Amino acid sequence: MRIGQLAQLVGVETQTIRFYEQQGLLPPPDRQDNGYRVYTEKHGEGLAFIRRCRILGLSLAEIHELQSYQDDPHQPCTAVNALLDDHISHVRSQITALQALEKQLVSLRASCNDDREVEACGVLAGISEGNMHQL
Amino acid sequence: MRIGQLAQLVGVETQTIRFYEQQGLLPPPDRQDNGYRVYTEKHGEGLAFIRRCRILGLSLAEIHELQSYQDDPHQPCTAVNALLDDHISHVRSQITALQALEKQLVSLRASCNDDREVEACGVLAGISEGNMHQL
DNA sequence: TTTAAACTATAAAGCTACTATAAGGTCAAT
DNA sequence: ATTGACCTTATAGTAGCTTTATAGTTTAAA
């Protein structure tokens, strides 16, 4: 299987596959005489694993860490669970921050309507006056 | 006022100030004979505006757009409001996506406990098996 | 007065996770 | 013979800074 087929199968671009190889997330495949990469099913699974991790929001470094655990299957999986717990709390704090932000933006938006000139715009005034407790 | 004082006043790093200048978000200040930048209160207000926009999650391009409206104060402020509305809906879709992600992560986490070996880890199995409807 | 700390300057590289572009080699079909 | 689809490497671009390198300037202490 060549790189284009693998890319289509998993739904990524060929450059992304080369990029993962370069980053050490995918093992370097064998090459044909002409230099073309030849992939096996194993590579497909590895790539799918990476993609699923990315969909879950894990960083390449975290994926690398997970792979290192997979390479040593008789350890306890405490570290895997801890990694996920950390990620969950990271996601939760992002949600909380964004919800606070949304509230702020909505209240800022409520301070203006479309019938004003920029000079009297409540939104711009709200940002400029700095009645935001963060600053 | 020199760059260090301005930085401390607004709570950013000096490099960030130079970066904003380079990006055209802060007007180039006058220089002393030795080449040091000299800032006025105006610059302080401009920088504070930028920082508040950043805290609200606006991109540098969006900030630039807002500044262009400020430079032309007798337009209607429709565009300002539209920019904010777009940003609010962007933030809302981020929240929605993260909430869906959190749900997925929590259910994945529930499939394991700390008393297993990596080989039998429910989390790794869950990612590997690909019973995630995205892929 | 010298010297060291603290400040300033510019330019360039590093960060994340790709994506895009350039310039070229390979292969099957026409 | 040439077109088109595929492959190769290397390099640059994205966002918003941060870091590093190198060097000149000011200020305070010894």
User: Measured in whole angstroms, how far is the alpha carbon of residue A21 from the centre of its chain?
Assistant: 18
Bridge-based pairing of strands A37-38 and A30-31 is antiparallel
DSSP-derived secondary structure for B62-93? HHHHHHHHHTSTTSBTHHHHHHHHHHHHHHHH
In A25-121, which residue ranges form alpha helices assigned H by DSSP?
Answer: 41-55, 60-70, 78-109
pLDDT at B124: 95
pLDDT at A131: 62
Nearest Cα of chain B lies from the Cα of A121 at a distance, in angstroms, of 6
pLDDT at B129: 85
Whether A16 CB is under 7 Å from strand C: yes
ipTM: 0.88
CA-nearest residue to B66 within chain A is A124
C1' nearest to CA of B28: which nucleotide?
Answer: C9
Nearest to B85 among A53, A92, A109 (CB): A109
What is the pTM for the complete model shown? 0.90
Mean pLDDT of A109-117: 92
Give pLDDT tens digits for A2-21: 999 999 999 999 999 999 99
Q: How many CA atoms lie within 13 A of B32 on its CB side?
A: 8
Give pLDDT tens digits for A91-107: 999 999 999 999 999 99
As a whole number of Å, the end-to-end CA separation of chain A is 56
Residue A135 has pLDDT above 50, yes or no: no
Residue linked to tokens 């407790």: A133
Burial of B112 from C-beta contacts in 10 A (0-12 / 13-18 / 19+): buried
Within 8 A by CB and 6+ apart from B61, the residues are none
CA distance A83 to B56: 29
**Contact between B113 and A81 using a beta-carbon 8 Å cutoff:** yes
> What would you report as the CA-atom Rg of chain A, rounded to the nearest whole angstrom?
24
Low-confidence ranges of chain B (pLDDT < 50): 133-135
pLDDT band at A129 (very low <50, low <70, confident <90, very high): confident
Residue linked to tokens 């997925």: B104
Nucleotides of C under 7 A from a protein CB: 7-12, 16-21, 25-27
Name the 3-class secondary structure at B21: helix
Strand D-proximal residues of A, range 15-74, CB below 7 A, are 15, 18, 31, 35-37
CA distance A123 to A53: 39
pLDDT band at A132 (very low <50, low <70, confident <90, very high): low
CA-nearest residue to A51 within chain B is B135
pLDDT at B134: 45
**Contact between A11 and B135 using a beta-carbon 8 Å cutoff:** yes
Question: Count of CB contacts below 8 A, A vs B?
Answer: 175
pLDDT at B2: 96
